Amino acid sequence: MDNLDNPQPGSLSWRLSSHPITLLSFLGFRLASLLVYLFGLLFTDNYVLIFIVTILLLAADFYYLKNIAGRRLVGLRWWNEVNPQSGDSQWVFESADPETRQVNATDKRFFWLALYAQPVSWIALGVVSIIKFHFIWLVLIVIAIILTVTNTLAFSRCDKFSQASNLTSGVFNAGGLAGRIGGAMVSRMFK
């Protein structure tokens, strides 16, 4: 019972979050679109209403995750820039400095679990829709998969970019390997 009252750091308890309102809003948007899709037909027979409400919730989830939750929960943000002259698209990744911002283990765990669970859930719902021959729902499911997979891939790349940046900064700073080798070479030259 003591373990329930005092959860360990990194456990899935929203009370340990550094940003509980952001975390609950993030999880709320993630669950709301799935719940409206799953239980919408229990309350109404209007396909168009369920479609529109689910799309609006998916769009809100996409925006909130991309611009607010990712930055506050794990210190990551991404966006896409288009060069007006060439029309080339470039992904830009931003991460918080690990020296100035410590990421909460609970926030990180919730974030990555919810980030990867959402596309898997929509893919599973797509398979169920195909098996039940409810092809009319596939348009909504494809849109949901596109939005959730885009955010998942972008944040995964952003995290890898952040880890690579942290690794290179650790190697090239004065306390790193390159700094020690360079310092040894310079000291040998002036002996």
Residue pLDDT, tens place only, 159-168: 888 776 554 5
pLDDT confidence band for 12 (50 / 70 / 90): low
Closest to 114 in 3D by CA, of 3, 59, 32, 18: 32
- Judge whether 11 and 97 are in contact, CB under 8 Å: no
pLDDT above 90 (res 29) = yes
Range of the domain at 23: 2-189
Please enumerate in sequence order all residues whose Cβ is within 8 A of that of 58, keeping only pairs 6 or more positions apart, or say none: 33, 143, 144, 147, 148
Q: Given a cut of 60, is residue 177 above it in pLDDT?
A: no
Q: Does 170 or 30 have the greater pLDDT score?
A: 30
In this model, does residue 68 exceed pLDDT 50? yes
> What mean pLDDT is predicted for residues 112-138?
94
What is the C-alpha separation between 92 and 162, in angstroms, rounded? 12
Alpha carbons 189 and 191: distance in angstroms, whole number = 6
How many domains, in total, are found in the chain? 1
Give, as one character, the DSSP assignment of residue 103.
Answer: P
Q: Give the DSSP H or E segment for 137.
A: none
Q: Token pair 């979050």 is at which residue?
A: 17
The residue type at 76: L
